[in-house]
Structure 1
Amino acid sequence: MTLPTHSHQAATPPSPVRLAALHSLLAQLQLERLEERLFRGTSSDIGSPAVFGGQVLGQALVAAARTVKTHRLHSLHGYFLLPGDKNAPIVYEVDAVRDGHAFTSRRVTAIQHGRAIFHMSASFQREEPGYSHQHPMPTVPEPTALSGPAPLGFELAKPFEIAFVDPRRTETDGPLPPTNQIWLRTCAPVPADPLVHQALLAYISDFSLLGVALRPHGLYFRQPGLKTVSLDHAMWFHRPFRCDEWLLYDMDSPSASNARGFCRGALYNQQGELVASVAQEGLMRHHPPAADQPA
């Protein structure tokens, strides 16, 4: 896929590695149509033990949308059932639950090795006028005013530019408030198709969200003895947006209990419009290695 020209102004041109990662991600989101409501997607190795949850979200979203003609996705609710095998393709089976005048519903099941690893309900709406209000965007520095992206160490983030409003890390600074804010956008322009932007946002919305539930406990991803897994993920798309323009991801975690952390996210464009909301619950188990055992 050839990336388009757009008013995307990067401080420095994206590296060939980042551009290749963006091309690869866009190709993964295309999916292969096997039957009218049956699709197949590929995975990439981002260094995690299993398939990245955001990849499954994005692909399932695309599979559902490919079976809808006129309505646009406004919400999704997904549950992660089993770890995905990153070395095997994923088959997405779409159930046409309802085709209505105003709303259309789809159910998607992601299958690997004969077992369901994920299922999702998605709702689509025909565009119509109505009342409008929103929670105001928090006041934060513009992405260009920040000192630059903090080191990520995550392959999944390569297709994106990400700048942390608060660059502190629990591994060096200890317990922190259960909040986080990042600016994000793709590292280069992408096609104008709204579905592409929704799928990209679903993909990256799984990045760092569960981390806000770890912060007040001084925990961090890849900490020895820590296991974190996304259990469910919900998104609501409120207004049009572009993923190749800066979006503020404002995240917080109001609660953690029973080895589960609950997290929320709000995504704003630079004009202050709330474009999407996210909610997720994830597993967070910590069993520190014994002092007399090797890590």
Structure 2
Amino acid sequence: MSKVMQDLLDILDLETLELNLFRGRSPQSAWQRVFGGQVIGQALVAAQRTVDVDRHAHSLHGYFMRPGDPKVPIIYEVDRIRDGRSFTTRRVVAIQHGHAIFSLEASFQVDEPGLNHQFPMPLDVAPPETLESMIDLVQRYGQRLPENVRRFWARERPLDIRPVGIAHYTTRDPLPPFNNVWIKVNNATEIPRAQQFAMLAYVSDMTLLDTTTFPHGRWGFDPDIQMASLDHAMWFHRPPATMDQWFLYTQDTPSTMGARGFTRGQIFSRDGVLIASVAQEGLIRLHEVPASA
């Protein structure tokens, strides 16, 4: 297992402080706030630690309230709301500096038989082997990025991210409100189901909110755009066979208004199985940029 993969597993492996109380850490990087997917994943892990192992997450709903500080640990407090015969409900609050930065409710269910159908995976999508990785794209277009952002995306990581379309890097023309991205978690073999879902929660915050800027000929790193996740919802439909396969993350943005952008996503396995669905609303606020002296 590579060091970066072990680092991700360590980040998603919380320290137990007391009954219903856990502590998580953040990777030390030049990034000034904690990555939202990390907080979602860690909060889900905290909830999982209080649930019977035969019950698996089927949905989560979270709200971001303050940016996380990567320099200090995050405390996760779990409220055991309900333990039913088939379903279990948990509420988690993430705390830093004495304040809540994120809250999550998650529901767990025992595996049950039932009706089964799904949307098909899009067929007209270029395969990942023909596409450039995010690191390749940063090297090509990195001069448009702030230095700390460029370093963040260029560093070695356990994820291989390959956008299907790169027009938003090259044009200011309005684009269709859709985005397709291939994502793979490298070296993630023989991962238990609970860890698989925590990794999917971590990954689900990648590139999603950027899609809201496509119809406006913009992108999230424009200096006059303030962008941050406000809430995040996720539904786990089926467990992946393995996490080190390619997943297609299809994304669309039905609406942006009132300084808020709304996005949806579906995560498919390479062979077309619908693994999870995602919805997120984020802050998309425009600021005037002072003219340079």
TM-score normalised per structure 2: 0.89
| CA deviation vs aligned residue, 1:13-57 (integer Å, no higher than 9, x gap) | xxxxxx332221110100100012100000124443311110000
CA contact (8 A) 2:236 2:275 kept: yes
The code of the aligned residue for 2:254 comes to P
CA contact (8 A) 1:166 1:181 kept: yes
Matches within 5 A, 1:180-195: 180-195=179-194
Partners of 2:18 and 2:37 lie apart in 1 by 24
CA contact (8 A) 1:253 1:262 kept: yes
Aligned: 1:102 with 2:86: yes
Q: Which is worse superposed, 183-192 or 206-215?
A: 183-192
Partners of 2:44 and 2:68 lie apart in 1 by 17
| CA deviation vs aligned residue, 1:111-141 (integer Å, no higher than 9, x gap) | 0011111000000000000001111111112
Matched length = 275
Aligned to 2:218: 219
Runs of 5+ consecutive residues of structure 1 not aligned to the other structure: 4-18
Partners of 1:148 and 1:57 lie apart in 2 by 28
Using a 3 Å threshold, how does the CA distance of structure 1 residues 214 and 46 change in structure 2: closer, same or farther?
A: farther
Deviation at 1:108, TM superposition (A): 0.2
Aligned to 2:157: 158
CA contact (8 A) 2:12 2:198 kept: yes
The code of the aligned residue for 1:33 comes to T
The code of the aligned residue for 2:101 comes to I
CA contact (8 A) 1:45 1:51 kept: no
Q: Which residue of the other structure, out of 8, 12, 28, is the alignment partner of 1:25?
A: 8
| CA deviation vs aligned residue, 1:74-104 (integer Å, no higher than 9, x gap) | 1000000111111010000000000111100
Other structure's SS at 1:23 match? helix
**RMSD between aligned alpha carbons?**
1.7
Using a 3 Å threshold, how does the CA distance of structure 1 residues 66 and 115 change in structure 2: closer, same or farther?
A: same
Aligned to 1:143: 128
Aligned to 1:115: 99
CA contact (8 A) 2:159 2:185 kept: yes
CA contact (8 A) 2:5 2:188 kept: no
CA contact (8 A) 1:170 1:176 kept: no
Aligned to 2:233: 234
The code of the aligned residue for 2:212 comes to A
Partners of 2:286 and 2:250 lie apart in 1 by 26
Deviation at 1:171, TM superposition (A): 5.3
Deviation at 1:193, TM superposition (A): 0.5
The code of the aligned residue for 2:251 comes to M
Deviation at 1:248, TM superposition (A): 0.3
The code of the aligned residue for 2:60 comes to L
| CA deviation vs aligned residue, 1:153-207 (integer Å, no higher than 9, x gap) | 4448821111221122245453321211011111223442011111111111111
CA contact (8 A) 1:171 1:220 kept: no
Aligned to 1:130: 114
Other structure's SS at 1:202 match? helix
Runs of 5+ consecutive residues of structure 2 not aligned to the other structure: 139-149
| CA deviation vs aligned residue, 1:205-258 (integer Å, no higher than 9, x gap) | 111100110111122122112110000000000001132111100000000010
Aligned to 1:59: 42
Aligned to 1:7: none
Aligned to 1:278: 278
